[in-house]
Each structure stands twice: as C-alpha cells, then as structure tokens.
Amino acid sequence: MEKFTSGDYRSPQINDWCASCGDFGILKALQQAFVQLQLSPDRIAVFGGIGCSGKTPYYVGTNGIHTLHGRVLPFASGAKLADPELTVVAVGGDGDGLGIGAGHLVNSARHNLDLTYILFNNGVYGLTKGQPAPTLQRGEQTRSMPHAANSGRLNPLALALAAGYTWIARGYSYAVDELAGLIQQAISHPGLAFIEVLQPCPTYNDLHTRDWYESTDAGDGSPRLYRLAESEYQGCILAGATVKDANSIRQNCYAKVLEWGMHIPVGLFLQDLDTPVAAHGIPAEKGRAEHLQHAIDDAIHDDNFNTSEHSLTDLESCYGDLKIDAY
Amino acid sequence: MDNTYHMRIGGPQGSGIDRVASLLARACVSAGGEVLTRREYHSNIIGRHSYVDIALWRQTPHSVQAYCDLLISYDAETLFRHIYRVNTGGLVIYDPALESASLEKQAFLDAPLLRQLEQQQAAGPHVADYLVSAHERGIQLLALPCSDLIKQLAKTSELSRGEVKRVTALLAMAAAAAHIGLPVDVLYRTVDNALSKHQQLLPLNHRAIEMAYQHVQNLGMANAWPFPTRDAADERLLLTATDSVALGKLAAGLDVQTYYPISPATDESTRLESIGMVKLHDGSFYQPRIVQMEDEIASITAAAGAALAGARTSTSTSGPGLSLMSEALGWTGMTEVPLVVSHYMRGGPSTGMPTRTDQGDLLFAIHAGHGEFPRIVIASGDVEDAFYDSMQTFNYAERYRLPVIHLLDKQLTSTSQSVKPFDSNRIAIEHSKLVDNSELADRAAPFTLNKNGVSPRALVGQAGNRHWITAVEHSPDGLVCEDPQNREAMMEHRMLKLKLILDDLPTDEKLLYLPADNAVMTLLGWGSVKGAVLDAHQQLAERGIAANILLLRLLCPFPATEVQQCLQNGAPVVAIENSYSGQVDALMRQTLGRGADHIIVKYSGRPFTGEALATALMQIAAGKGQPRMVLRDAYE
C-alpha cells in the first residue's frame, strides 16, 4: 500500500486557469509523478515563474513558491544549495524561460544542480493576453496579435542541448501518463533535467491547438507527434563515455531537436550520465551543515524569537595571512 | 601627541607597488606599529597610475592625509602628481633615471591635472625641475639608482636578469623602511613569509633589502623617525572591510553566499572562497557554499531561495548590482525572507567610477524596489565596525524576517587597518522563531498576524510542514488574496516591523554620539566618513573648537527620536558625506522635519581627509561657512 496518494499532492487553492488549458495536464502529470516516486510532500518544493504556468505551485500540495518573472531557476537553485536533499522542481512558461529568463536557463546548465525544470510551451504570453512568446515562428499570428510575429523562434531543446543540460525531454500536456513518466525520470536523474511540454493555450493560441497537435497533416496517416521511444533514436551518454562518443550522441540529438512541423518527436532526447553534478561545498548526501540543522532544531523548541547562542566558528582558523604576529 | 607618519607609494598599476606597499604595511605592524592604508587605483590591469598611502603610528590612525611625509615613486607620473603633496621636511625617494622625463610625455596623466601642473610648473617641465623646486621648499631627496643596483645584484645572483629585475619595486620600499627605522630583520621575515612558496627567491630579496638599507645609511638618511612599538605579544590583523565582512559572515554561521563579480565587492567573496572549510569550536568543519552566479539577479534570487530553506544567506554587490537586485529585494520584503545584502558603494551613476569611493547610494538603498516594504539599512564606519555589523546583520534579518542592506564603500574595501583579533562572542547568534512542527495540523501559515509584525517562519523543506510562499499579496496562510481588508491587514503587519525595530534596538546599535562641552557644532556623518570626522574633530579640539560627533549606523528605519535628542542642544549641524547632494540631509528633512545647517560634500570619488575636513569646519566655526561646501583636491 502506498503511503502517499494523489490527495497528498493536491491543493485546496481554487484554480483559475482557463477551462481546457494545457496546464491542467502538466499539473496532473506532476502530481502523478510525485505519487509514483512516493516523495513526502513536505520534502518537495515546486518553484514557479510568472505567468499562468507560474501559478502551478499554488495547485500542488507540496511546498509551493511563486517567484519572479524569469527567475525561477536561480530561486530553485538556491533552495537546492541550502538543502541538497530537497526535491526541487522549477516550472515556468516559454516567455519566462526563453525571454526574460534566458540567461538563467542557459547558465543553470553550467551548475548542473540536481533539479528538474519544466518549461510550458504554448507559444504565447497568455496572462498578458496573447503576445508572441519566443517560441512562436516568425510570420505566425495568433488570435489576439494585431500583426504576425516579427521575430523568429527559439528552439528550447536546442538551447538546452547547447547549454549543457544533462537530461532533455519533450512531452505533450494531454499525454498525461507519458508526461508523468518523463517527470518521474527527470526527478530521478542526478543533475539538471529539462522538459519542454507542448501545450495548447485554448484562449490565445489558435494555431497550435489540441487538434493541431493531434492531427495527421503529413498526409500518410502518421501522427504529428511521434514517440522517440518507438524509433531507432537513442540519446544516452553513459558515465565514462569517450568525448568522441558523447559528441556523436549530442550531434544526433541536435539533428533530432530540429524536427518540427509535420512530425514532432516527443520523449527522451538526451540522458547525460557523464557530466558531474554540482557539489558546491558539502556533498549532497551530507545534507545541511550540522550547525544550521542544530540551530533550526533549537529555534523550533524555543518560544522566544531571540534564541541566542555564541558563534560556533573558530575564527582563528579563518584568519590565514590576515593575521600578523608581533615580531 | 599625534605624530602619525604618512607614506605614499605611487607607480604604474601592475608594477608591483601593491605588493611592496602591502609588505611594508605588514612589516610596520609586525614591528609594533599600527597602520591605516588607502589605495587609489583605476579600473585597469596594467599601466595607469595608482598609489597607496600608509599612515603609521602608535595608535591606529583614523584617516590618511592629503599630504605625506615620504613619497616613494616608481615612475615620473607619481613625482609630477604628488610632489606638491610632500610636507616640508619630508622625503622623496626616486630613481635618478627619471630626471629627464617630461610632463607632456605622461600618457596617463589626465588633462585637467596636466594643465594645472603646467601652470604651476617649477623651473621647467622635467622631473629634475620639479625635484629642484621641491628641494627649495625644504624637501629632502633620496636618489636610488635602481638600474645600477639591479646590475650589482645580477652579478652575484644565479637567477636570470629578468628575475632579478623583479625586485626593483622592493628596492625603493626597503629604502623607505630604512629611512623610517623599521628593523631590517622584520622586513626580512615579512618577505620570507610572503615568499614561503618561492624559497629560491629569498637570497636575492634579502640582498636587495640589504643593499637598499646600506644605500640609505651611506647617505646618512637612515633611522630618521622614531619607529613606534607596541607590546610584542600583542597580535594584530591587517585587513580591509571586504575581509572583515567575510569574517563576520563566517562568525555568524554563513551557509550560502552568492555573488557576481563586481568592483569593489568581489574581494569579499574571494576571501570567503579562499578560506574554504571553516573550523568550528568543537573541532568539526563546515564549508559554506560560495557560489558565483551568472548575474546579480541570479545572485539575489538564489540567495532568497537558499534563505527560504533556512540557510543563513547573503549576497554581496556594488551599485550596478544593487540596481539589478531591486525587484528581488522587494520579493524578499514581501515574502519576509531573511537576507543580507552587503553593498559596497562606488562612484555612480551607471558604470560611474568603479574603483572610486562614493556614498551616493544612501537613498537608493533605502528605497530600492517598487512598492513599500520594510527593510533595514545599516552602515559601517571602519574595518572593525564592519566585522561586528556583518555578524549582526544576520541577526537582524532573522529576528525581523526582512532584507538587511549593509552599506560599505570602496574606501573601506581599499583601506587596510591594523586591528586586534575579533571577539565573536560580542554578538550572540540569533535565529528566527519557526512554526512548531508538532502543532502542524496540515499546513503551516507562514504569515500569521501578531502584535509586533514578526510571525514564526516556516522553512521550505522543514519536516512535517508544507506551505506556500508568494510575493503576490497573500493571506496569513500564504494564499493569494487581494481582498481589501486582507491587503490592509498584511500591509500593516509587515510595516509594523519598522516600529518594532526602532523600539527594539538599543541606542548604540542606532548611532554613536560623542558630545562635547560648549560644542559650537555637531558633526553628523555615517559610514566611512567616520575616520576623517574623528581626525578633524581632534584637529578642531587642538585649536580650542569643541564639536559633538554624531555618527549614524541605522539609516532605515531612521532613528528620529534619538537623533532629535542628540540635536536638542541646538548646536549647528554639519552633515558630511561623500556625495554630490549630501543625501543624509534630505533624509533628515524627511524624517525629522529639519536638515543640517551646513553640508560638506566631496564627490571626486576620493575619501575625505581629516585635515581638509578640519579646514572647512574651521571656516564654519569662524562664521565663514557656506550652506553647502565642496571639498576638492586635484592631486588625488
């Protein structure tokens, strides 16, 4: 019998997303992944950016933190630095991650902290009523745009690959079970995992609709979205792989992430088990600095907020060449 | 009597002057002196003019002076720029090879100073002419033929000519050391310590020092000054505010520091990184995580994320960085996350003057971020204060659940001061009260309303607790709520902290007040003007002019009641600030309804010196002061 059920990851907050928003599928998949992993809700933190997707933290029964536009990754990274055993998931929209937050999206890969980043791709800035997101093609014009998009499309997966994410996947918001499986794998991956989720915005994106994603425009009856797992493709870099082998896999991956239009691959694009996870001081398994935990334990049991103790630090060990002995 | 000795060491950046100045300062402290140094430099790696002042005496000097007793020159620009700043009876150490250098060939000399020097030029445009006129003003000259000495050294050294040439900078410094009577053994030992990983260089360095000492003795210019000594057993630290702030953070139990490289704040994070593992009193070790982020926005948001999870967290930056951090600063105010921002002010606006000092961020620090939220802004006056303040900022952040901005500036980062080892027991370690896990029904309410504005914290990841945090207006449960009554209650609750802080903090954590009998004025300042104010105050006292000193530590919330009490005696208030407008005056008008009677400002990017400040104050005492007085010095 499972200790945690789906109810443990639900939130009493009233959801104000539009009916049939793709966000619902992602939320459900996220909660499903938590059930599958049997993670204690108090040891999960879901961080959200700004926008419709940024509200996801309100709708999960874990810790939920609503941050700033574009900054979800550094907020999430900070929590992971402080508490390496915490399960940290960052979510944000395509405008959040590829527009205002692009610098963080790229540089977070360099740290390779053990986080999961889910990028909700619906092609528009929904909450501000449908302006083009960086994922919209030049020339595309969705419902509320006064003219076609002047700027071109950023490819989230290509960017993640170039930046050095060690786990890269794409899911579809209405393929909930598959997406839950991907999220589960992403959380289990020891390093920074990136999932792009294709999702309709039923209110503002009248181009990339559920019908569009689920259609067979190629004319041969083949679906637009196809599963990488059912193809020849494999993108796993094993620990200890040679540079040549690793680069060959990345090159294949790059070719794969360029596919778009009639046929769009979904599933796992890259799994890099060779790049080390950031340690930043204390190894993750040691948990927080003991003095910090000690202080927290003390504070919990003290009614006075001025809990006080003396400094635990031996300053003499820190002085180094700053200290001058008298001659 | 104050008999402080002022040395100035000038030369091209990257030529080793920082290194020899640091060695000289260390040797002076090791030999029993107390020092205060100041470093002026450009945002440049190699070639432009920089100089280091070292003030030396029995007690730690409060400030350096515009004039020096000894000028050690490593290039012609140093002689042109500073020779008018050598006191009568002082000494200039120079290389005679520079005598033929001419003023117009000084590529890095800025146009305004070049014009000024051309107008007041002595007998001619060459270094030799300037030396002649200096000699006529009663300044001694000590010629040190460096290339001859290097040749001699090369003859007896197994090292290459290039390696031998690298001790050039040491020669003039050692000559200065011989002049002031620094025991040569101390200099040897100081150099030995610095070169402990380069043993093969020691014989050469020792011979260079010996040769310079001999040269000065032969000229009859050795031991010209009574070298001060203190108790031999008395240990000292010699450090800047970036060092002392870093140590204060470690003493406070720093867990995570994030940063993005920026002058002049970076040295603090570099110091933390170089310390690495920290030993605790119980013999165990811990390693704070010092993380370089991709920009200042990432720095403060990652710091906020770490603070959410309960870490003692800080970030460190300078002007442009705080500008970028403003939005996230509001986030921490709204979500009541304890966070320390160490802010090292530099000349602004925009890129401004990255390596020059300024206090023009005062009102920005108080107001940075949109909307209204409580914060604490405190300022440190010197290197020693900076340590204790740095420790205390974490207590404030946790005690009141808010962001704390610790104001420092470039002057404090490039001023080394000899101080006694710190006493970390002077500041208790305080942590926020947390919600009690055992009482958690289901979810923690992170913002419960109470009488003083500070509710128990819920940590992200705290076992048995889960909760929501948002900087959207929220209910006590942390749920989004824009209801008018909720908004009012939450706004009032957050802002209540400002009153609590003012009620809670003892006066000595708000300000330092030193009243004087029959004071004719009150000198009011904050931050790094402290040293110059103390020196100027002493100089006034020596001329029979009594003045009160009021140095502000807490700038936000403003301790209006205590300041009002200090000013009740009616003595005219003279506000002193390294800025264009004298922002503390505006702050007083806003919070007290009265401003200063005079403001003395300096915005050249250089710090106040005691003597220049004293001159301006004497004008005020003589009834000749203007409401706004600007201190200027073309040679700095």
Give residue-wise pLDDT tens across range B264-283: 999 999 999 999 989 988 88
Nearest-angstrom CA–CA distance, B222 and B216: 6
Q: Do A292 and B289 touch (CB under 8 A)?
A: no
To probe the interface with A, which of B466, B475, B501 has the most A CB atoms within 10 Å?
A: B466
Q: Provide the pLDDT for residue A302.
A: 46
Is residue B231 included in any domain, yes or no? Answer: no
Residue linked to tokens 């919330």: B557
Q: Provide the pLDDT for residue A281.
A: 45
Length of chain B: 636
- Say yes or no to pLDDT of A121 above 70: yes
Given A107, A320, A327, which is nearest B189 (Cβ)? Answer: A327
Q: Provide the pLDDT for residue B121.
A: 62
Vertex B165, ends B160 and B169: CA angle to 5°?
A: 150
> A45 and A89 in contact (C-beta within 8 Å)?
yes
Smallest CA–CA distance, residue B294 to chain A, in Å, is 6
Residues 6+ apart with CB under 8 A from B237: A319, A322, A323, A324, B418, B419, B420, B421, B422
Size of interface A-B (CB pairs under 8 A): 280
Prediction pTM value: 0.96
pLDDT 10s digits, A14-65: 999 999 999 999 999 999 999 999 999 999 999 999 999 999 999 999 999 9
> B443 and A10 in contact (C-beta within 8 Å)?
no
Smallest CA–CA distance, residue A293 to chain B, in Å, is 9
Domain boundaries, chain A: 6-272, 291-322
> B524 and B574 in contact (C-beta within 8 Å)?
yes
Is residue B134 included in any domain, yes or no? Answer: yes
Nearest to B151 by CA among B164, B139, B142, B140: B164
Given B231, B434, B460, which is nearest A300 (Cβ)? Answer: B434
Residue linked to tokens 């874990």: A62
End-to-end CA distance of chain A: 72
The residue of chain A with its CA nearest to that of B282 is A312
Nearest-angstrom CA–CA distance, A153 and A139: 10
R_g of chain A computed on alpha carbons: 22
- Say yes or no to pLDDT of A307 above 60: no
Kindly report which listed range (A245-249, B123-127, B219-223) carries the lowest average pLDDT score. Answer: B123-127
Q: Do A78 and B256 touch (CB under 8 A)?
A: yes
Nearest-angstrom CA–CA distance, A72 and A54: 9
B28 shares a domain with B142: yes
Tokens of B610: 């005691």
pLDDT 10s digits, B75-110: 999 999 999 999 999 999 999 999 999 998 998 889
Q: Do A318 and B250 touch (CB under 8 A)?
A: yes
Q: Provide the pLDDT for residue B172.
A: 97
Given B291, B301, B461, which is nearest A68 (Cβ)? Answer: B301
Decide: helix, strand or coil at residue B142: strand
The residue of chain B with its CA nearest to that of A107 is B294
Q: Provide the pLDDT for residue A313.
A: 92
Q: Provide the pLDDT for residue B572.
A: 98
Tokens of B337: 């996350």
- Boundary (domain end) residue, out of B190, B218, B246: B218
- Residues in chain B with CB shorter than 8 Å from the CB of A71 are 297-298, 301, 328
- Say yes or no to pLDDT of B135 above 60: yes
pLDDT 10s digits, B166-215: 999 999 999 999 999 999 999 999 999 999 999 999 999 999 999 999 99
Q: Provide the pLDDT for residue B287.
A: 85
Q: Provide the pLDDT for residue A310.
A: 87
To probe the interface with B, which of A86, A112, A303, A313 has the most B CB atoms within 10 Å?
A: A313
Q: pLDDT band at A221, cuts 50/70/90?
A: confident
Q: Which residues pair with B93 in a beta bridge?
A: B72, B142
Q: Provide the pLDDT for residue A293.
A: 58
Report, as an integer, the average pLDDT of B527-549. 97
B199 shares a domain with B51: yes
Q: Do B306 and A81 touch (CB under 8 A)?
A: yes
Kindly report which listed range (A294-303, B6-15, B521-530, B559-568) carries the lowest average pLDDT score. Answer: A294-303
- Say yes or no to pLDDT of B140 above 60: yes
Instruction: Classify residue B426 as left (phi > 0), alpha (psi -120 to 50) or beta.
Output: alpha
- Say yes or no to pLDDT of A294 above 90: no
Helix (H) or strand (E) holding A309, with range, is: strand A307-309
Nearest-angstrom CA–CA distance, B511 and B563: 8
Nearest to B314 by CA among B283, B330, B338: B338
Is residue B227 included in any domain, yes or no? Answer: no
Given B236, B429, B471, which is nearest A66 (Cβ)? Answer: B471
Q: Provide the pLDDT for residue A303.
A: 45
DSSP A182-236: HHHHHHHSSS-EEEEEE---TTT-SSS-HHHHT--TTSSS--SEEEGGGSS---E
Q: pLDDT band at A1, cuts 50/70/90?
A: low
Q: For chain A, give the mean pLDDT.
A: 91
Report, as an integer, the average pLDDT of B386-414. 97
End-to-end CA distance of chain B: 27
Q: Between these two residues, A301 and A233, which has the higher pLDDT value?
A: A233
Strand positions, DSSP E, B158-307 = 236-239, 256-259, 278-279, 285-286, 289-292
The residue of chain A with its CA nearest to that of B428 is A310
Q: Provide the pLDDT for residue B447.
A: 94
> B362 and B583 in contact (C-beta within 8 Å)?
yes
Given A62, A309, A315, which is nearest B251 (Cβ)? Answer: A315
B454 shares a domain with B314: no
B608 shares a domain with B532: yes
B385 shares a domain with B274: yes
Q: Is the dihedral of CA B370, B497, B480, B438 positive or negative?
A: positive
B380 shares a domain with B482: no
pLDDT 10s digits, B6-64: 999 999 998 889 999 999 999 999 999 999 999 999 988 888 999 999 999 888 889 88
Report, as an integer, the average pLDDT of B603-616. 96
- Say yes or no to pLDDT of B486 above 70: yes
B415 shares a domain with B329: yes
Q: Provide the pLDDT for residue A300.
A: 47
The residue of chain A with its CA nearest to that of B446 is A63
- Residues in chain A with CB shorter than 8 Å from the CB of B315 are none
- Say yes or no to pLDDT of B293 above 80: yes
Which CATH number belongs to the domain containing residue B514 in this structure? 3.40.50.920
Decide: helix, strand or coil at residue B405: strand
- Residues of chain A with pLDDT > 70: what percent? 90
Q: Is the peptide bond before B264 cis (omega within 30 degrees of 0)?
A: yes
> A22 and A174 in contact (C-beta within 8 Å)?
yes
To probe the interface with B, which of A75, A77, A288, A323 has the most B CB atoms within 10 Å?
A: A75
User: B50 exposed, middle or buried (CB, 10 Å; 0-12, 13-18, 19+)?
Assistant: buried
In B105-142, which positions are buried (b, 16+ CB within 10 angstroms) versus exposed (e)?
ebeebeeebeeebeeeebeebbbbbbbebbeeeebbeb
The CATH topology of domain A6-272 is: Rossmann fold (3.40.50)
Q: Provide the pLDDT for residue B286.
A: 83
The residue of chain A with its CA nearest to that of B303 is A78
- Residues in chain A with CB shorter than 8 Å from the CB of B258 are 78
Which CATH number belongs to the domain containing residue B260 in this structure? 3.40.50.970
- Residues in chain A with CB shorter than 8 Å from the CB of B230 are 326
Residues B39/B319/A281/A78 CA torsion (nearest 10 deg): 170
**Residue at B439: amino acid letter:** E
- Boundary (domain end) residue, out of B426, B452, B471: B426
The domain of B346 spans 238-426
Q: Strand A167-172 relative to strand A116-121: parallel, antiparallel, unpaired? A: unpaired
Q: Do A81 and B305 touch (CB under 8 A)?
A: yes
B471 shares a domain with B596: no
Decide: helix, strand or coil at residue A37: helix
Q: Do A324 and B236 touch (CB under 8 A)?
A: yes
B542 shares a domain with B450: no
Could you report the predicted ipTM of this complex, rounded to two decimals?
Answer: 0.95
To probe the interface with B, which of A300, A303, A309 has the most B CB atoms within 10 Å?
A: A300
Q: Is the dihedral of CA B440, B446, B448, B450 positive or negative?
A: positive
B565 shares a domain with B444: no
To probe the interface with A, which of B236, B282, B308 has the most A CB atoms within 10 Å?
A: B308
Which CATH number belongs to the domain containing residue B62 in this structure? 3.40.920.10
Vertex B439, ends B435 and B442: CA angle to 5°?
A: 90
Phi, psi torsion values for B409, nearest 5 degrees: -150, 175
Given B32, B233, B431, which is nearest A299 (Cβ)? Answer: B431
Q: pLDDT band at B349, cuts 50/70/90?
A: very high
Q: Do B293 and A302 touch (CB under 8 A)?
A: no
Smallest CA–CA distance, residue B302 to chain A, in Å, is 4
Q: Do B305 and A66 touch (CB under 8 A)?
A: no
Q: How many structural domains does chain B have?
A: 4
Is residue B60 included in any domain, yes or no? Answer: yes
Q: Provide the pLDDT for residue A287.
A: 41
Nearest-angstrom CA–CA distance, B572 and B597: 6
Q: Do B468 and A64 touch (CB under 8 A)?
A: yes
Q: For chain B, give the mean pLDDT.
A: 94
Q: Which residues pair with A10 in a beta bridge?
A: A60
B421 shares a domain with B339: yes
Given B31, B186, B239, which is nearest A322 (Cβ)? Answer: B239
Report, as an integer, the average pLDDT of A89-115. 96
Smallest CA–CA distance, residue A275 to chain B, in Å, is 19
B165 shares a domain with B26: yes
